[in-house]
Structure 1
């Protein structure tokens, strides 16, 4: 084995061991939530770059109400500043932010129990970027998987400073509100580790390393077990690909979208994600929205073909989302209420952010 191959093998084994530890710790946290949910503050965030779709819902949004209702203090960030990390402009940002607030409330998030807020409305949160940037190296930023992927995707185009420092901005999101729980997929674990590292380095550098009185709580991962829903073309669900079913769609719009979904030539419907990803994805959608297994649904359809499959999926999706869509329609019609919810969340976030920044200034001897 060459030295390069040996290094790669060692890195992979280390990553596997680290993932195994993260999974085990996430399971412990699930058990602790059952016993004492009040010990946790959860933060999650979404960039308002487009309309929320079923991939967002089953990937993360569905869990927001579940975590909230289990008694965990829940904070939901509308990451409006992060829209410009990889874009030349913000687009119809106001419309998208309010649409996201409506989606969040429609799926069951209670603004009396949860805090919904935006980046741009919390100055103290963003001010933490300055001391945090002094705690990381350029090499560390370039090694971050998201930054590396974006750099490769630019095809030589210069990366913005905001995109390069994206992991530090995420760390500020988590640490400013003293969140100690972040729901993530395994591919997002490096971002969480960066936040933990920044918190550790800050306390060490500025003399607050005493365990009883750290400036920042150490965030931990609640690993998602959600099923990954593909787009209607069998690729990753993405607005830019035009392969999504949006939460705001009507029943008729949903039917038209599913009718165009990609399948295959085999008339007998079977659940086989490896060999029949498009058909299996439609079965998964029907399963997630009906409570039955994909195999059961496939057996019922039998040799009914793609037409029957799409009819079953359409009915199941529309039935499941009907109450969410009805609630969303009411919310969208009352912009004043959406703004009221957002302003209240921003006020709460500012209160916490200002207290955290005061602690940071005190630790840095800048409290003058």
Structure 2
């Protein structure tokens, strides 16, 4: 289960090579899901939205349903860099878990757990940091982007070491497959580097850790209601937990353009095309077909179509979420069980690390 796959990607992942390998992995997942262990997750920074759903969440349910062993991490420690978020951490974690359950992540088949509840995972961060240079951390493009958009006056050590913490997340359960977007490839490459260097330095001819591979998502680009990237922090997203009326209100205010004819041209009409795409994703059809059917209906007809499509698609998810939220103990029970499962694996991994490093005093 934890062995490295037969055709690992190179240490420096080019996009073309990563996509080619991801296509191979997708075939392997479908033919032999039991050989894979996946780790994925979201920082608890607010309500999950449609961009998350079509970008990553529905793919997690798909992998789970295929029979892939799936671990879903709630990285609560990673929001401590933002005081405003940390002050609402318990609420955000609960909201996140409810969203997971509502979209179909089954705690009987997938393990949902939290950073802060798995001490062995976090202890792995220390030996892993010894395998990575400060220069490597400083030039990680994803960290640079996080820092550039941070609202903080100074960058914390936790932010800088985030890629190594992520390596501890993945390697603590010895996951060998990580669903990511293209922008997350540098993070995963740090994990692969840590695994390789640990194996080389302490493995004594054997590989303690797999070098996890990237399953690249073909996540659609959905813009927010203001025409910019859909984001929790920008207030331009439609949350999965929003009710039908809130969804309609948000979509009525969505940015379009002055042209009456509806077309699907992402390069030249990004706002209109994003709404067309959203309707198509919710309906399970082609965006060009949606555009053709709307014809000269204009922005008002487009918004009505999108609103109906979104509310229809999300109705069963919202109903399940409401039902789950009625049980105040449910989230705690799900996390407790998941923490125990992930904790047992992380403890075994830490024991293996101590034995390899000869620190098992």
Q: Do they superpose with TM above 0.5? A: yes
Answer yes or no: is the 8 Å Cα contact 2:73–2:115 preserved in 1: yes
Superposed, 1:208-247 pairs within 5 Å as 208-210=203-205, 213-247=206-240
Answer yes or no: is the 8 Å Cα contact 2:39–2:178 preserved in 1: yes
1:270 matched to which residue of 2?
Answer: 263
Q: Number of aligned residue pairs: give it.
A: 352
What's the offset of the Cα at 1:249?
0.6
2:95 to 96, 99, 114: 99
2:53 matched to which residue of 1?
Answer: 57
Cα deviation per residue 1:299-329 (whole Å; 9 max; x = unaligned)? 1111111111100000010001100000000
The answer on 1:139 being equivalent to 2:135 is yes
Answer yes or no: is the 8 Å Cα contact 1:52–1:103 preserved in 2: yes
Q: What is the distance in 2 between the residues matched to 1:243 and 1:225?
A: 22
Answer yes or no: is the 8 Å Cα contact 1:47–1:82 preserved in 2: yes
1:312 matched to which residue of 2?
Answer: 305
The answer on 1:84 being equivalent to 2:80 is yes
Going from structure 1 to structure 2, the CA distance change for 1:149 and 1:319 (only over 3 Å counts) comes to same
TM-score by length of structure 1 reads 0.92
Larger mean CA deviation between 17-26 and 244-253 belongs to 17-26
Gaps of 5+ in 1: 1-13
2:339 matched to which residue of 1?
Answer: 346
Cα deviation per residue 1:145-173 (whole Å; 9 max; x = unaligned)? 12222344469943111111111101111
Q: What is the distance in 1 between the residues matched to 2:210 and 2:12?
A: 26
Cα deviation per residue 1:312-358 (whole Å; 9 max; x = unaligned)? 00001000110000000011111212211111000001100000000
Gaps of 5+ in 2: 1-9
Q: What is the distance in 2 between the residues matched to 1:341 and 1:83?
A: 21
Q: What is the distance in 2 between the residues matched to 1:218 and 1:16?
A: 13
Q: What is the distance in 2 between the residues matched to 1:148 and 1:366?
A: 34
Q: What is the distance in 2 between the residues matched to 1:248 and 1:214?
A: 43
The answer on 1:200 being equivalent to 2:196 is yes
1:30 matched to which residue of 2?
Answer: 26
1:11 matched to which residue of 2?
Answer: none
Going from structure 1 to structure 2, the CA distance change for 1:345 and 1:140 (only over 3 Å counts) comes to same
Local SS of the residue matching 1:99: helix
Answer yes or no: is the 8 Å Cα contact 1:86–1:163 preserved in 2: no
